[in-house]
Chain A
Amino acid sequence: MSTMTFLMLAATFLPLLGALGLLAVPKENRRAFEVGAVAITIVSFLMSVPFWFDALGMAGEMHKVQWAWAVDWIPSMGVKFSVGMDGISLILWLLTTFLGPIGAACSWGNIDERHKEYYVWLLVLQTSMLGVFIVQDMFVFYVFWEIMLVPMYFLIGIWGGPQKLYAAIKLFLYTLGGSVLMLVAILAIYFLQHTATGTYDFSIASFQAMASTIAQQSHTFQILIALAFFVGFAIKVPMFPFHTWLPDAHVQAPTAGSVILAGILLKMGTYGFLRFMLPIVPNATKELLPWFVALSIIGIIYGALVAMIQKDMKKLVAYSSVSHLGLCMLGMFAFNPNAMKGALFQMVNHGISTPGLFLAVSVVYERRHTRMIADYGGLSKTMPVYATIFMIMTMSSIGLPGLNGFIGEFAILAGTFQTWPWAAVLATTGIILGAAYMLWMYQRVMFGPINAVNAEMADLNTREILVFAPLVVAAFWLGLYPKPLMTLLEAPVAKLVEQVSPGYHAAARLAEVQAKAAATGMRGMEAPPEAHGAAAGEGHAVAAPEGHAAPAAGAKAPEHGGH
């Protein structure tokens, strides 16, 4: 095991070890749990930072699983405890370690009972989420995927709001239902693999290698596998119409629960699509694509419309997630590098801006114990620092250029436009509505005359500013200098696109060469006299658009692209 692999495992399991350590502390020591949880997650984050630089150093290789290591677990079933990350896992893993300390630190102000259990569950949750992103074995993946649900269930069920049990059970049943469907798909492929190769192997790579075998199975089989994966992951994302657990869970969850739910848990769904559904059943996915695109579009617009009329701030932000994740899914289903990279970028963005918004809601909730928009107004007057940070998070969420949200949205829309122009145009409606509901909420909460109760509210304290600070820095950094993250995504996305549409890149390269040839012809034509130039110009005018249209054509009809 290399040092980096050890570090990866250490960063992943440190929260769990820390949780075990905290179990030994008597439960009266509230401060010990608070400080302990923050310290443990910060150390875990610091341990994860070197991976960013290591990965940037070998960005061209990030489509492969790096820092890999494996040990047999249940040999008779082909189960290995194998770990490692490619570029896609890495960024989500880093997002998780990044949000860990924020989740722990924001809990200081709103958890008033049973501190020991709370922070222990929070740390267990952290390890289970980190585990999902590093494992390279289907079986172990499923174990982590399910374990994750337990701490979340308790976080909402014990420390949640008035309807916490309804919300917790709903969350549990929904996601469990999705997981079981996913399990059925996994087992079907597992046994198919045994029939085809005679071996039992749970490794994700071997599952992805099954794509060609699956493509030879019956049409119904392929569609059923695709649908099982789709429903399983769509619930987690959540896509319309599987989304109604989300507003309930968010509204009832304690702040850290909302932060982690929005920041990481929802990304599990999108991660599942990228890791399993698209590479394993590309043909069936493509066949069902119009439906998926339609659901994404409905999610974008529907989520935005419903968010607009919410009176509860948390519910509004929750519905905005439905809308934003719809955009992510649309980018993913566009099946070209720009849109897919945009979708991944947008996952990270959503993991920054939405937790920021939930934190912003919790700040006023902790002071006034209400989340109703109508109870506030004019807070800018007494809380200028809060007003500024809330504004930055709002702008990040609605995609103001210069902040992170814009880069992802733009890449998604530009990429989608190449494949599904009308879908891209429809998606922009959601972006207009997004500005409308966010700024309308901001206006009603922060502007206008202030009443006597709210005039007493204190501005952010140092701890709160420190909790927001990393999110604000990340929002600016990704908005102003998105290149490193985009570079990391380059190779894995290229591989993914190739898995989904074999021959895509060859076709794109061909188009590029053609375009270049056309451009060279153009340059030569500047010298000759008017008449000749005009005649040649017409010919090239036709040639150039053809050359650029080729990538899109390649995406739609990959079998024409040469291998």
Chain B
Amino acid sequence: MTPLWLIPVLPLLGSAFNGFFGKRAGKGVVSAVAVGTVALSFILSLVAFFAMQGAAGHRLEATYYEWMATGGLSVPFGLVVDPLSGTMMLVITGIGALIHLYSVGYMHEDEGYARFFCYLNLFVFFMLMLVMGSSLPLLFVGWEGVGLCSYLLIGFYFETDYAPAAGLKAFLFNRVGDLGVAIGMMALFGMFGTLTVSGILTQAGHLSPEAGWGLLTFATLMLFVGATGKSAQIPLYLWLPDAMAGPTPVSALIHAATMVTSGIYLICRLAPLFSLTPHTLTVIAWVGGATALFAATIGLVQRDIKKVLAYSTVSQLGYMFLGLGSAGYAAGFFHVFTHAWFKALLFLGAGSVIHAMHHEQDLFRMGGLKSKLPITFVTMLLATIAIMGFPPFSGFFSKDEILYLAYLKNPALWAIGVLGACCTSFYMWRLMALAFWGEPRDHHAFEHAHESPWTMTAPLAVLAVGAVFAGFWGIPKAFGGSFAIEGFLAPALTFGQSHGAHAGHHEGPAWLLAGISTTLGIASGAFGWWMYKDGLAKGEALGAKLPGLHVVLLNKYFVDEAVEAYLLRPVRWFGNLMWKLVDVILIDGIGVNLPGALTRVAGDFTALFQTGRVRNYALTMGLGALLLLYVFLK
């Protein structure tokens, strides 16, 4: 059997090597170690993946030692490969290896070359721990570990002011979510007395769905809070757009393809548990739907090419949660899979554009790059068609299945989803038109623009193949397919129980729904392209007609400002008040220093009588004697 531990450990070794020796070893060695370890991991993951399909119950498990043990809580250090984690492993190491290769070109001139790959390899390690961990605490190690790497990589350009600030923001928003996971784990431990995934799910299989707002609903809701942090959903989504301060390959790997989907992964991992809590599922569906539309509307007006893609990611993650909340675990996860291809491709393509334009990220200063960057253009075009949901590109199948399930849950959710999809089409075609069509708006940068080296274009090409064809893994039943991915994931999603995955009642006007959403999507895409293909004039005119809306969208609904004004400032103010009032004035001032001062004053006062002069003593003695005489003789 494949030594499973080797799969995460290889990138860890690569990270350690590059961290300790990278600076002396030179860029060639660093690249070879970084790309090589992840590629090896990919090969081993493939071996494990196929071994898993032959294994009993489609599950490979290896336990190495007892990690935590206190009283009733015993957590083994174990790794699991099943259809769910196996797919994620392939995505992480496969797309990860491509992005590592891409980074060799993209980061070539950076001073912190070794440091970058040290962090990036470390990220792959933690991400693999997250998906392979056999217990929730081990998953949590990966969960917080990827948060750390994300923090380090967002703040990679640490000599700037904005990048470390964005990193801190990401870490703290994630921390809020992480504590949700921690509380959820505690509640589950209280209920089940174990924290291994298999232990929890085995016991959960004997429970009946919880009708009210009980402990199980509380636990799953807390886990979902964690998911909103990691996967950037309302209300914890604010960090992701700022996270674009990191190098572009990081945005592609961490903030598009892998880490941000771990919230969906967590819910899929515990799918039978979530199926027991219908209230939680409803919350998930609405939060996901709301995020999908909300973030898409912000994406409509952004000028920074990476910010558009960031809001697009938040929005697409919303679709995944919408799918999960509609009990379509397989559908949600399917979208994780297809999204990993086309969104990683879009980010890498954007990176290629930025690279060509000498670190220009402003769409309003691009234009006409079609001829200069042919490979980037074609691959990004394919990804755009995939994300807008044009059949039979990958995004069509996964998004359509989600929208269909949302319709079955509540037609209002479907409508929200379709509206979001229209926005998606619009902003993507706007982005493409602004970058590749029209006249160059910055002639100097345009003159110097050139196609990227093969290390960057080759990954684009490979990802483009995936972006086009990945959808064929799950052609929905309504279109004559078998939704193969659902059957494939079933062992993991149902865990041998009947009510795990989506029940599969396919009723409803599937063709009609798909027709409406696709037609509207194409129309909005065409509109976006037409608006911006000749430059900014038409867009500006439209913005001027709707000034209120434009300002609100441009400022992202002023949420950041509200958080600063109503949360952060009061907390700092309160901390300051507590310190000054309670510590300095009350405890130290009145409680400690005042008695001290009073003692001193009393001492000083009585010391007045101890003058050391005989005549003073004689005087007081005399006065005292007189007083006594008066008292007695009276």
Which of A401, A402, A435, A481: most chain B CB closer than 10 A? A401
Judge whether A341 and B71 touch: CB under 8 Å: yes
Expressed in whole angstroms, the Cα–Cα distance for A306 and B577 within the complex equals: 9
Tell me whether B469 is interfacial, beta carbon within 8 Å. Answer: no
Name the residue of chain A whose CB is nearest to the CB of B185.
A414
Partner of A435, one of B137, B172, B191, B207: B172
Interface 1/0s, chain A 65-108, versus B by CB < 8 A?
00000000000000000000000000000000000000000000
Tell me whether A449 is interfacial, beta carbon within 8 Å. Answer: yes
Expressed in whole angstroms, the Cα–Cα distance for A361 and B40 within the complex equals: 41
Binds A, one of B62-70, B349-357, B511-519, B539-547: B62-70
Tell me whether B485 is interfacial, beta carbon within 8 Å. Answer: no
Interface size class, chain B: 35 or more
Tell me whether A486 is interfacial, beta carbon within 8 Å. Answer: yes
Binds A, one of B157-165, B459-467, B471-479: B157-165
Given the known A-B contacts A447-B164, A541-B207, A548-B193, are A439 and B171 also in contact in the complex, defined by CB atoms under 8 Å? yes
Judge whether B148 and A483 touch: CB under 8 Å: no
Judge whether A448 and B67 touch: CB under 8 Å: no
Residues of B within 8 A of A308 (CB): 571-572, 575
- Report, nearest first, the 7 A-B pairs whose CB atoms are least far apart: A447-B164, A305-B575, A401-B141, A417-B186, A337-B71, A447-B158, A428-B179
Binds B, one of A157-165, A199-207, A210-218, A405-413: A405-413
Given the known A-B contacts A305-B575, A401-B137, A428-B179, are A537 and B588 also in contact in the complex, defined by CB atoms under 8 Å? no
Interface hits, B128-180 → A, CB 8 Å? 137, 140-141, 143-145, 148, 151, 155, 158-161, 163-165, 167-168, 171-172, 175-176, 179
Tell me whether B558 is interfacial, beta carbon within 8 Å. Answer: no
Tell me whether A184 is interfacial, beta carbon within 8 Å. Answer: no
Judge whether A401 and B576 touch: CB under 8 Å: no
Judge whether B164 and A400 touch: CB under 8 Å: no
Name the residue of chain A whose CB is nearest to the CB of B66.
A483
Expressed in whole angstroms, the Cα–Cα distance for A544 and B203 within the complex equals: 9
Q: List 11 A-B contacts (CB under 8 A).
A: A244-B588, A309-B575, A341-B70, A414-B73, A414-B186, A417-B183, A431-B175, A432-B176, A448-B161, A449-B161, A525-B206
Interface hits, A499-521 → B, CB 8 Å? 508, 512, 515, 519
Partner of A432, one of B141, B151, B172, B583: B172
Judge whether A400 and B160 touch: CB under 8 Å: no
Residues of A within 8 A of B185 (CB): 414
Judge whether B140 and A401 touch: CB under 8 Å: yes
Expressed in whole angstroms, the Cα–Cα distance for A111 and B68 within the complex equals: 41
Given the known A-B contacts A308-B575, A381-B159, are A540 and B206 also in contact in the complex, defined by CB atoms under 8 Å? yes
Expressed in whole angstroms, the Cα–Cα distance for A535 and B179 within the complex equals: 37
Residues of A within 8 A of B158 (CB): 378, 380-381, 446-448
Partner of A309, one of B148, B576, B592: B576
Judge whether A448 and B578 touch: CB under 8 Å: no
Residues of A within 8 A of B72 (CB): 338, 508, 512, 551
Residues of A within 8 A of B203 (CB): 519, 522, 544
Which of B19, B182, B187, B592: most chain A CB closer than 10 A? B182
Expressed in whole angstroms, the Cα–Cα distance for A241 and B585 within the complex equals: 13
Tell me whether A149 is interfacial, beta carbon within 8 Å. Answer: no
Expressed in whole angstroms, the Cα–Cα distance for A512 and B193 within the complex equals: 10
Tell me whether B190 is interfacial, beta carbon within 8 Å. Answer: yes
Expressed in whole angstroms, the Cα–Cα distance for A515 and B165 within the complex equals: 49
Residues of A bordering B, CB below 8 Å: 170, 241, 244, 247, 302, 305-306, 308-310, 336-338, 341-342, 378, 380-381, 388, 395, 400-402, 406-407, 410-411, 413-414, 417-418, 424-425, 428, 431-432, 435-436, 439-440, 443, 446-450, 480-483, 486-487, 489-490, 508, 512, 515, 519, 522, 525, 537-538, 540-541, 544-545, 548, 551-552
Expressed in whole angstroms, the Cα–Cα distance for A106 and B575 within the complex equals: 32
Judge whether A414 and B179 touch: CB under 8 Å: no
Q: Distance (Å) between the CB of B335 and the closest chain A CB? A: 28
Name the residue of chain A whose CB is nearest to the CB of B163.
A447
Tell me whether B551 is interfacial, beta carbon within 8 Å. Answer: no
Expressed in whole angstroms, the Cα–Cα distance for A331 and B524 within the complex equals: 57
Expressed in whole angstroms, the Cα–Cα distance for A490 and B179 within the complex equals: 27
Expressed in whole angstroms, the Cα–Cα distance for A432 and B65 within the complex equals: 30
Expressed in whole angstroms, the Cα–Cα distance for A90 and B165 within the complex equals: 43
Judge whether B67 and A302 touch: CB under 8 Å: no
Q: Distance (Å) between the CB of A311 and the closest chain B CB? A: 11
Residues of A within 8 A of B140 (CB): 401
Which of A435, A449, A481, A508: most chain B CB closer than 10 A? A435
Residues of B within 8 A of A424 (CB): 183, 186
Which of A411, A447, A552: most chain B CB closer than 10 A? A447
Judge whether A428 and B183 touch: CB under 8 Å: yes
Judge whether A309 and B190 touch: CB under 8 Å: no
Expressed in whole angstroms, the Cα–Cα distance for A449 and B572 within the complex equals: 24
